[in-house]
Amino acid sequence: MEETFQKTVERVKKLNLLKEDDLKLLQRVDAASAELVNSEYESYLERKFNDKAIPLLSRYKVMGIPIDRRYGGDGANSLVHCLAMQRFGQVGMGIVTLVDVHQFLGSLTLQQWGTEEQKQRILPEAAEGKSVLAYALTEPEAGSDPSSMASSFETNDDAYILNGSKYLISNGSIAKYVVVFARSKIDGAISAFIVDSKTSGFEVAMRLSEKLGLFTSDTALLEFHEMAIPKDALLGKLGKGLSVAYSALLNGRIGIASGCIGVMEDCLNSCVERAKYRMQHGKEIGKHQLIQKHLAHIATDLESARWPVYLAAIMKDELDADLKNAELLRSVDRQSATAKLIASRNAYDAADRAVQIFGGFGYSILSPVGKHLVDTRVARIYEGTDEIMELKVASSILGKEFEAYK
């Protein structure tokens, strides 16, 4: 699809289209983020999940940002959602992960693929923050290639019986509902299900706390043992689970990329503050040219990622109004991968330079930038690794027959 100048101008024009309600929502996001800083910091130092985050986000009514107003959410478009995630990113990737999985991978997926009954049952609770959602695709033996998953289901008269395990699942041990993918024992086709975590046979086998960072985010290993779920738990069409999975990731990547913009903003703010008061060799370190070079890199990292991310969000809004447009879908998918690839790499580079500017104190999770360095690393892995994003972008340019990851 040709990217004309007119289209770009149209998209830039849309940047001014923040409605009154959007501005109010973004004010709530801002206030929630400012209040979150304390508990995130304290939990991080204790290397534990921040159990104050969900009550706080619920109090500010920001758990249902993209959920349609009919189901009690804000019905925000992708651009507004992206700005909200950017603000959460200033607090850190722990909050970004929690919100991204709950809202992009969970709620939006249900909103796009769920039946009216599923939506009415689950989305209002999700919007209020009474229930948290998770997304379980990865397995111990299947990560970048989910089509090789081993989790399976069988069908009887009134239920699907699931067996298998899901690894590295964010919100896994706190979620009430989990989007789960499994393959049919009959024909091998993969389907998606929305599973109540209270179902017998659903087990949180391990809380994965030995991570490099991201301590305030919950990560779990889930196991399903002869887990019988009702027939109405099917999400989307039988055998079309990978379409559900990939559409969720298209959304989620925009969320993660937006969070990375916030990380870079926080790195820049923290470094500017530090560079102006930290004195070495008789002057503020900000007056040393090599420190200025790092600052300039962080600022350009930030700005070179900002537009690809906003563009992905604006294009996603276009897609939402034209869901059947396959060409647009491919184009948005590429832009979402591009945005995540650029933003997560730039954020990691920015955090690394920020640690350098902070010096020894930066090499500590007490500093804002030390935490960003370890936490941002994961953005280059989850929801599609750097390599998979590169292959995706390349094959989208070359054509489907060049898909190298198949």
Partner 1 sequence: MKFHLAGKVKINAPRDNIFASLSNPEFMATCIPDLQSFSVADQDHFSAKIRVGIGMIRGTIEMRFSIEEKKPISHARLVGEGSGAGSKMRIDSVFDLLPAGDSTEMIWAADADLSGLIAGIGGPVLKGQSEKQVNQIFQNVRSKLEN
Sequence-separated (6 or more) residues with CB below 8 Å from residue 137? 146, 149, 166, 181, 245
Nearest CA-CA partner of 66 in 392, 313, 391: 313
Contact residue for ligand FAD among 110, 136, 244, 275 (CB under 6 A): 136
State the binding partner of 136 from partner 1, ligand FAD, none, CB within 5 to 8 A by kind: ligand FAD
The stretch among 135-143, 150-158, 329-337, 354-362 that binds partner 1 (CB under 8 A) is 354-362
Does 270 help bind partner 1 (rule: CB under 8 A)? yes
Residue pair 179/173 in contact (Cβ under 8 Å)? The answer is: no
Residue 327 known to be catalytic: no
Query: Which of residues 45, 186, 189, 290 is near partner 1 by CB under 8 A?
Result: 45
Q: Which stretch binds ligand FAD (CB under 6 A): 43-51, 53-61, 149-157, 387-395?
A: 387-395
Catalytic residue among 40, 383, 390, 403: 383
What's the start-to-end Cα distance of the chain, in Å?
A: 23
| Choice from 378, 379, 395, 396 touching ligand FAD (CB under 6 A) | 378
Three-state SS at 131: coil
Structure-token pair, residue 349:
């580079």
Q: Which structure tokens are listed for 244?
A: 């559900």
Minimum gap (Å) between residue 279 Cβ and partner 1: 9
Report the distance separating Cα 40 and Cα 34, nearest Å. Answer: 11
Pairing of strands 202-207, 279-280: unpaired
Size of the site for ligand FAD (CB under 6 A): 22
Query: Does residue number 269 form part of the binding site for partner 1 (CB under 8 A)?
Result: yes
Q: Which residues pair with 378 in a beta bridge?
A: none
Q: Is 388 in the site for ligand FAD (CB under 6 A)?
A: yes
User: For 371, phi and psi rounded to 5 degrees?
Assistant: -65, -45
125 Cα distance to chain centroid = 20
The residue within the footprint of partner 1, chosen from 15, 296, 323, 366 (CB under 8 A), is 366
Count of C-beta atoms within a 10 Å radius of residue 392: 22
Chain residues that interact with ligand FAD, rule: CB under 6 A: 101, 135-138, 143-144, 168-170, 211, 214, 219, 378, 381-383, 385, 387-388, 391, 405
Chain residues that interact with partner 1, rule: CB under 8 A: 34-35, 37-38, 41, 45, 90, 266, 269-270, 273-274, 277, 358, 361-362, 364-368
